[in-house]
Amino acid sequence: MKARVEKLYKFADPKPDAVVFANSVDPHLDGGFFWVFDVPSGLFEGSIAIAHPDGQLDLFTSVLEAETARAAARRDPHVNVHEFRTAADLEEGTKRILGSARTIGLHHQEITHAGYERLTKVLPSAQWVDVSGAVRRARVTKDAVEIERLAKAAAIGSQVALEIPSLLREGLIERDLATEMNHRMMQHGAEGPSFATIVGFGPNSAEPHYFAGGRALRSGDSMVCDFGAYSERYASDITRSFHFGRRDEELKAVHEKVEEAQRAALATIRDGVPAKEVHLAAQRVIDASPWKGRFTHGLGHSIGLRVHDGWGMNERSEDQLEEGMVITVEPGIYLPGHGGVRIEDDVLVTKQGYRFLTTAPRSYVEVPA
Ligand code: GLY
Ligand code: MN
Ligand code: MN
């Protein structure tokens, strides 16, 4: 992906002679690796990508993904594939490619400490510099291919969100609903869930980063379902909240307040707006309500090859929104011991506003028990 490598060098200061992305063992795989080397499948454990200032990429892969790598290289003439069999092979190969480089960039944010030590020992006289800031900057705005994949991942999430009400019945276990949601995401074309699906019933819905446990659904429960799909390596992240059975007037009003907070935040989104302002637009709505202080996390984050893609939106954010960013907008209100509501969408930031990538309805739904 020549254009991505060039974009990375545009942000690098000082400019290194080469940038190395080194994968370790799953899950310690570098998102930067898959950003410069666009390959639809394969783990690529232990693989290394060396990106050069002219946009060329040297790609070291083991035999496990060699065919996939070669097929990707046939589609992209800027990629040279080298197959390694042993660690000594890989060392010799990286030394050969990097031999004349004086300054070499590394992605400290995602390389393991062991990977760092291995590489820096191979070329002890090179100057190794951290290019994490440039990688983050380059990855945070998406190109057309990335937007298309994020939209596909979001469409899968939206479709499953639409199907959730039809799956609900008294006694349903959180974990069983999560399993069904994961299954449906794959049926709709996902490679898998982009993170551990959150399904919280009743008081569990008041815990923002719950997983999916053993509680059975009861009439009167609020429910938070927070999940996402991977599609061609790109993630989605959507939350829909529902109410099951007997009306709870407070939780209904909470739902309507969260919707209002999300609308207020969305109305501020466009190129050039401070991220902090977007967060505060939602927080102000909630803090002016009876649930002041019950919005307990940042409003959202960048999303891409990872569900949390290196950039967050909260009251301390110093960044601005930029056209081409894809971010989540996810206000919530949590009442410990009672229930919670969160509504989360993925949106593309545009010059004048935003475009929804997730489209499932957001308004209050009361599913009969
Ligand atoms: N799924 C975790 C989050 O919404 O950030
Ligand atoms: Mn989420
Ligand atoms: Mn999120």
Going from N- to C-terminal start, the domains of the chain cover 2-139, 144-367
Angstrom distance (rounded) from CA 352 to CA 355: 10
The answer, as to whether pTM is greater than 0.75, is: yes
How far is the centre of ligand 1, averaged over its atoms, from the C-alpha of 239 (Å)?
8
Is the distance from the beta carbon of residue 195 to the nearest atom of ligand 1 less than 6 Å? yes
User: What pLDDT is stored for residue 40 in this prediction?
Assistant: 85
| % of the chain at pLDDT higher than 70 | 100
Rounded CA-CA distance 21/115 in Å is: 10
Could you tell me the pLDDT band of residue 157, with boundaries at 50, 70 and 90?
A: very high
What number does the ligand 1 atom closest to the CA of 237 have?
1
Radius of gyration of the chain (CA): 22
Q: Which atom of ligand 1 is nearest to the CA of 226?
A: 1
For residue 99, the model assigns a pLDDT of: 85
pLDDT surpasses 90 at 338 = yes
Report pLDDT for 71: 95
Region 144-367: CATH code: 3.90.230.10
Residues with CB under 5 A from ligand 3 (ion): 237, 328
User: What average pLDDT does range 338-367 have in this prediction?
Assistant: 98
Residue 105 CB contacts under 8 Å (≥ 6 apart), including other chains: 12, 16, 18, 19, 20, 128, 129, 130, 131, 134
- Say if residue 310's pLDDT is above 90: no
Class in CATH terms, 2-139: alpha beta
Residue 211 confidence class, pLDDT cut points 50, 70, 90: very high
Task: Give the per-residue pLDDT at 158.
Answer: 98
Task: Determine the pLDDT at residue 137.
Answer: 96
The response to whether residue 237 sits with its C-beta less than 6 Å from ligand 1 reads yes
Q: What pLDDT is attached to residue 206? A: 97
Longest dimension (CA), the chain: 71
Across residues 167-174, what is the average pLDDT?
A: 98
Q: Does pLDDT of 217 surpass 90?
A: yes
pLDDT at 247 over 90: yes
